[in-house]
Amino acid sequence: MANDNPLLDLDGLPRFAHIEPSQVAPALDVMLDETRATVEARLSRAPGPGWDDAVGPLEAAETRLKRFWSPVAHLNAVADSAALREAYNAGLGRLTSYQTGYAQDERVYRAYQAVADGPDFAGLSEARRKVVTNALRDMRLSGVALPAAPKARFKAIQERLSELTSRFEQNVLDATDTFSLIIEDEARLQGIPASVLAQARAEAQRRGRDGFLLTLQAPSYVPVMTYAQDRALRRQLYEAYVTRASQAGGGRYDNTTLTDEILVLRQEAAALLGYPHYADYSLATKMARDAAEVETFLTDLARRARPAALKELADLKVMAQADGISLEAWDTAYYSERLKERRYQFSEEDLRPYFPLPRVLEGLFTLTERLYDVRIRARRDIEVWHPDVLFYEITDPDGASRAQFYLDLYARERKRGGAWMDECCVRQRHPIPSLPVAYLTCNFAAPAADHPSLLRHDEVETLFHEFGHGLHHMLTQVDEPAVSGINGVPWDAVELPSQFMENFCWERDVIDLIGGHYRTGAPVPGDLFARLRSARTFQAALQMLRQVEFALFDIRLHAGFDPTTGSVHALLEAVRDEVAVLKPPAFNRFENSFTHIFAGGYAAGYYSYKWAEVLSADAFGPFEEHGVFDRATGLAFLHNILERGGEADPRELFARFRGRAPCIDALLKQSGLYETEEGA
């Protein structure tokens, strides 16, 4: 019975404890039938010029369909199984087909155009005007104006791309989960922190093995690369990691042919719409004007960072040479940590005992409450997809509920790596009011038998980053789902709230709030914090060049490159020849696991991280001037940025908050590169 299907219960939160893969297909049948019926009923008559008559029902139907699919897509990312993957892939193809057809429906286009041309358009709210203009733009970008044959081809391309990008991501997940390495000789694990070894031993025991089990999941891989004294072990894990989903990694989950086909189809789709290449098609919805502007931005950053990066690399090579080693890619994290320890008498592991995850969460919530005048409380009465998942509610001072969020913090098998925020529900007032609800996902080490999950400082930054995305989604005051929260925000501005939040992790007052020794509660010692601060710009130039390398590769890959006549790997190598100061080994196949651009929505948009970092560094200036807990500054950021979602141009919103356009100087100073540039 349809009524028994929990996926069709859209009146409240998803009933995760009751969802089964077998329910996906029949629920999708019902939802697509209902959506089509609503759309057809609306389009069967000539649209009036008003919002309520012309496009309100269409917007509501599309929002309802997205809300239905949200838990399916989320479970596919955090609780993968063969049955769910099959149901998800089949459903995704059907959903993509429907959505592309809808975006190409000339009747839908005319309905929105009637509103745009109508006498009441100027009187609509800023949000509704933006919904209409965005919808008209996006339908043009979906081929609504194409003749019949090219329109059909564009639709087929989108359906195929949906299938390919999903397979790409699943191959990376499978390649990551398939690898494991048992180490029985503990002497080979010298240097690795005891807490990591305890987790590795527990994981081996869980699988019925003796010794220590290492994986390519971040809580295992990163400590090995950073601390393991056994160079051969570091190389073994490094090679496994950078050859995931490639022929060099065994070929079982090889993504090479997928990347080529994805690129060919993206270029064909862009050409059908008259764009010279996919990059300019992608940038039609972003702040950057075209690929040339992105190239200029990135090469300028590379020029500024390269002199300092060469010095940073030289320091690393000296350290490695002292051990009789010629520095290779599997040595950089290890010797970077040794150099940091020597230069600053500081190691990330020194801080780990001071960042127990429960204390960090409590402090993060308190910071949010003080800045934005809200309250955050846990709830235990909500269905979740795993026992470790937490659930929270955000309320206004008067107790009125404002938003909710799920928190899935720990790494495990069949869960996608990395960290992200996604939407469960979007804020809306019509036709049925609903609160914004977010999924916040990380992959930290789980608690051990004798202590809670203990975070490195960079993991604290990750948590703050994703919570920043979450606040952008949850604290919005925009009632139109298409531009509420992160919706409608240009991709190269969407990282502003997330990167902005990272800045608080470097402030003493915030460290005292989020940090305390997990056994004694003692605050982070002053000298340890001073060393942390002094190390903030450690290897900032190398890190910047690494991001520029990825972003240049991305933009050039989508700006005229033809995989039928050239090699994706060769293009990446050419970018490295231009930008990188230490090239990885020939067997490196990073591109085969670059999910951001081949599966994660960042195609021709990876530059967004550095672009938005300019905004976020500059936006933090008033907090440095007035204090990190200054309520007036926090409310100004809330009202001008977080609450406004995608209803206005981000340049305008930034200017409302900062009183001027963004300036790159703040990022250069924050990265320790401003003086380098001045002295060049």
Note if the bond before 431 is cis, omega within 30 degrees. yes
pLDDT tens-digit readout, 17-55: 999 999 999 999 999 999 999 999 998 877 667 899 889
C-alpha 570/C-alpha 576 separation (Å) is: 10
Quick one: pLDDT at residue 661?
95
Nearest alpha carbon to residue 388 among 410, 416, 404: 410
Residue spans per domain, the chain = 2-145, 179-244
Contacts of the segment 376-379: beta carbons below 8 A, 24+ positions apart: 379/404
Residue 589's alpha-carbon distances to 177, 334, 641, in angstroms, are 17, 21, 39
3-class SS at 494? coil
Question: Are the C-beta atoms of residues 600 and 494 closer than 8 Å to each other?
Answer: no
Question: Are the C-beta atoms of residues 255 and 597 closer than 8 Å to each other?
Answer: no
C-alpha 167/C-alpha 568 separation (Å) is: 18
Residue 449's alpha-carbon distances to 198, 498, 521, in angstroms, are 9, 32, 19
H helices present in 7-147, as ranges: 24-43, 51-54, 56-78, 82-103, 106-117, 126-141
3-class SS at 425? strand
Task: Using the Cα atoms of residue 129, residue 133, residue 136 and residue 139 in order, give the sign of their dihedral.
Answer: negative
Quick one: pLDDT at residue 348?
86
Q: Please give the angle made by the CA atoms of 272, 274 and 276, to the nearest 5 degrees.
A: 105
Nearest alpha carbon to residue 506 among 623, 664, 376: 623
**Other Cβ atoms within 10 Å of 324 Cβ, number:** 6
DSSP element (H, E) containing 405: strand 401-410
* Phi, psi of 103, rounded to the nearest 5 degrees: -70, -20
DSSP labels for 162-227? HHHHHHHHHHHHHHHHH-EEEE--GGGGTTS-HHHHHHHHHHHHHTT-SSEEEESSHHHHHHHHHH
3-class SS string, 350-394: HHHHHCEHHHHHHHHHHHHHHHHCCEEEECCCCCCCCCCCEEEEE
3-class SS at 280? helix
Quick one: pLDDT at residue 47?
66
Structure tokens at 356: 């127990």
3-class SS at 582? coil
Question: Are the C-beta atoms of residues 108 and 58 closer than 8 Å to each other?
Answer: yes
3-class SS at 554? helix
Q: Which sequence positions are flagged as catalytic?
A: 466
* Phi, psi of 408, rounded to the nearest 5 degrees: -115, 105
Quick one: pLDDT at residue 675?
54
Quick one: pLDDT at residue 329?
97
Structure tokens at 191: 């240097």
Quick one: pLDDT at residue 1?
43
H helices present in 535-642, as ranges: 540-557, 568-579, 595-598, 608-619, 621-626, 631-640
* CA torsion angle 632 637 638 642 (round to 10): 180
Strand 420-425 relative to strand 437-444, pairing = antiparallel
DSSP labels for 50-81? SHHHHTHHHHHHHHHHHHHHHHHHHHHHHS--
Residues of the chain with pLDDT under 50: 1, 676-680
Quick one: pLDDT at residue 431?
83
Domain 2-145 has CATH 1.20.1050.40: yes
Quick one: pLDDT at residue 83?
98
